[in-house]
Structure 1
Amino acid sequence: MIGSGDGKPALVAHRGFAGENPENTVAAVEAATATTPTETPGSVVSPDPTRRRADWIEVDVVPTADGDIVAIHDVELSGSDRRDGAVDLTDSTGIVWETDTATVTSATVLASDETVPLFADVLDAVPADVGVNVELKNPGRWDLRPGEKLDGDALAARTAVWRPFVEHVLAVVDAHPNDRLFSSFCEGALAAIRELSSAPVAPLVSDSIDDGLAIAQEHDAEAVHPPIDAIRGTPFFDAARFGHADIVTTAHANGRAVNVWTVETWYQADRLASAGVDGIIADYAAVATE
C-alpha cells in the first residue's frame, strides 16, 4: 500500500518527476529518489539520509518487438501529444512494440543525454526503501478497451491479451526488493496480475468513478487512482464530469487508498491532503513543500 509513513499523503514521482527530469529514465529515477537537503545549525545544508525526495516512483511499461520491457509512456517513439508538439518524446520514430529493442533503447529522451531504458535498469536504480508503482501501459496491442468495466467473455478475452506481457513484467519486478503496486486503465491488465500474483493493484480512473470503483471491487484492489478533478471537496472537483460521487469516502469505506494524478503545484497537493487522499502522484518534488 502506498504510504509516506508520517501521516501525510505519500509523494509518488510521476515518471520520475516528469516536470523536472527526462521522464521514465534512469536519471529521472536517480534524481527523484535522492535524499533531501536539510539545514543544520550554522546554516550548513546537508542531505538527510532518512528522507528521500519521493516515497514512490511511478513508471510506465511497454514491450518492444523483441519482447523486452522498456520504460516509456507513449505508443510512438516520436509522440508529442502531451507536449503541444513542442518537442518529440525521443529522437527516433516508430511504434514501440513494432520496433527492435536496440533501436528503442538507443533513442534519446526529450533532447537529453538519457535514452529509453530497459525496465530492469530503471528498477536497478530505485533504492530498496522506495516503492515502485508500475503502470501497465500497453501489452503491444491497439484493442485494449481502457476505462471500461468488463464482464464474462469480454473480460476473459482482455485478460488473455495482457497475460504474457504481465507475466514478463512480474518476472522483472520480482527480481527486485521494492514494495510494488500495479496500476492500469485497463481491467484486463489488473485481472492478469490477480491471476499470476498476490501483488497489490489499483485501477486508474478515467471518466467513470463508478466503473473505477467497480473494477476495484471486482479485483479486490488495494487502491484507486483518480484524476485530480474527481476529488470532491476540493476546488478542482468537476461536478459536471463526475456528478456527486465521493471517491475518497467510498474507497476508504472499503479499505482502499486513493492516490491522485497528476499534481502540479503545492496548492493542489495541500487541498488534496485536506480532502483525505493517501497519495499524491506529482510531476514536481516541490509540491510536498511544507
Structure 2
Amino acid sequence: MSAEGGRTRRELLAAVGASGAVALAGCSGSPGDRSGEPDATAADVRLIGHRGCADQYPENTVLAVEESAPHVDVVEVDVQRCGSGELVVFHDDQLNRLTDGAGTVSSTDWGTLRELTVLDSGEPIPLLSDLLAAVPPDTGVNVELKHEGMAADVLAAVEGVENEVLLSSFSADALRELRAESEDAALAPVFSDSTEERLSLARELGCEAVHPDHELVPGSDLVSTAHDDGFAVNAWTVDGAETAGELVEAGVDGLIVDRWDVLDG
C-alpha cells in the first residue's frame, strides 16, 4: 500500500530535524552501543502506531493496520480472550465505548463479538490471527496482552508470521507466563509508575525493551539506565511534535503514537 495522501515516515521524521539515512531496526530493536548517552536523532527513532493509530482509524481493526502500516515502522495492537476462548483484538474490558454492545469482552462469545463494529465504522472486531495476517511483512508488530492466561495461545498465533514481533503488557504475570513458555520471545513491560520495579522486572525476564509513559522520561535517568541494561525504550503515547522532540533529545528508541502525522506539530 502506498503512502499517497500523506507524508511517509521518512518525511515525518525530517519534520523534527532528522538528517541522513533512516535506520529501520524492526519492532523490538536494540539501543546499540550507546553507553547510556541520549545521543539519538529522530532518524534513529521508530514510529509505533498505537492501536493502529487510534486517532485516525477505528482502533485495533484490520483497516487501521492496513492504513497505518505505510507510515509507521511498527503497529501496536491489544489482545484479550473473549468469553468463548478466542483471542480478539480489543482494548477495553467493556464493549460500550467502542461498539453498540454491552458487557465485557471476557463474558461475550465470539459469535456475538464478530457481529459488532468499532466506532460505527463498519469495521468488525478482529481475531488476533486475522489482524496479524493483514500486517505487511516488513512492518513490525507489538502485541500488548491485556491479561494473563494467554501466553501459549499468543505465542502460537505469532509463531508463523514473517514480521518482527514484540510482546508487551502492564501485567507482570502475563510477561512471566510468556517467558516460561518461550526463552526467545521479545518482551517489554508497559508502565506509568514504579520505574525501578519495572526495570527490575525487565532484567529478571531478559526483556528486549521497556515501554514507559512518556511523562516519566524527561528529567530522569530512565533512558540511560535502560540502555545500560540493554533495553530499547519506546515511550507512549506521544501527543505532538514538541513532546516528540523532547523524547528524541532524551534518547528514546521509539515513539508510540495515536497519529502517524503527530510529528507535523
1:176 aligns with 2:161: yes
Residue type at the aligned position of 1:15: R
**Letter of the aligned partner of 1:179 in structure 2?**
E
2:252 is matched with 277
Counterparts in 2 of 1:1-290, with a 5 A limit?
2-3=28-29, 7-33=43-69, 52-78=70-96, 88-139=97-148, 162=149, 165-197=150-182, 198-233=184-219, 245-289=220-264
Separation (CA, whole Å) in 2 of partners of 1:59 and 1:173 = 13
Deviation at 1:105, TM superposition (A): 1.8
Cα distance in 2 for residues equivalent to 1:7 and 1:108: 37
Instruction: Say if 1:116 and 1:32 are closer, same or farther in 2 by CA, change over 3 A.
Output: same
Alignment length (residue pairs): 228
Query: What is the CA–CA distance in structure 2 between the aligned matches of 1:70 and 1:288, rounded to whole Å?
Result: 31
Tell me by how many angstroms 1:4 deviates: 10
**TM-score, structure 2 as length reference:** 0.82
Q: Which whole-Å deviations, capped at 9, do the CAs of 1:195-225 have from their partners, x for residues lacking one?
A: 1121110111122111111111111111110
Mapped partners of 1:16, 1:167: distance in 2: 24
Q: Could you tell me how far 1:175 is from its partner in structure 2?
A: 2.3
| Preserved contact between residue 70 and residue 116 of structure 1 (Cα < 8 Å) | yes
**C-alpha spacing 1:121/1:4, structure 2 compared with 1 (3 Å):** farther
In the aligned structure 2, how far is the partner of 1:2 from the partner of 1:182?
9
Aligned-residue identity in percent? 45
State the TM-score, normalized to the length of structure 1: 0.75
Preserved contact between residue 2 and residue 56 of structure 1 (Cα < 8 Å): no
| Cα 1:250/1:187, change in 2 over 3 Å | same
1:246-272 CA-to-partner distances (Å, cap 9, x unmatched) read 210100011110000001212211221
Whole-Å separation in 1 of the counterparts to 2:231 and 2:43: 16
Structure 1 gaps, min length 5: 34-51, 79-87, 140-161, 234-244
2-structure distance, mates of 1:258, 1:91: 36
Q: Extract structure 1 runs of 4+ deviating beyond 6 A.
A: none
Unpaired stretches in structure 2, ≥5 consecutive residues: 1-26, 32-41
The residue identity in structure 2 corresponding to 1:253 is D
CA–CA distance in structure 2, aligned partners of residues 247 and 132 of structure 1: 24
Matched to 2:172, the amino acid is: E
Aligned partner of residue 117 in structure 1, secondary structure = coil
- Describe the SS at the equivalent of 2:44: coil
Asked which structure has the greater CA Rg, the reply is 1
Which structure is higher in RCO with an 8 Å CA cutoff and minimum separation 6? 2
Q: Alpha-carbon deviation of 1:193?
A: 1.0
Q: Is the 8 A contact 1:2 1:278 kept in 2?
A: no
The amino acid of 2:61's aligned partner reads: T
C-alpha distance in 1 between matches for 2:233 and 2:161: 25
Tell me which amino acid in the other structure corresponds to 1:276.
G
Distance 2:84 2:164 in 1: 28
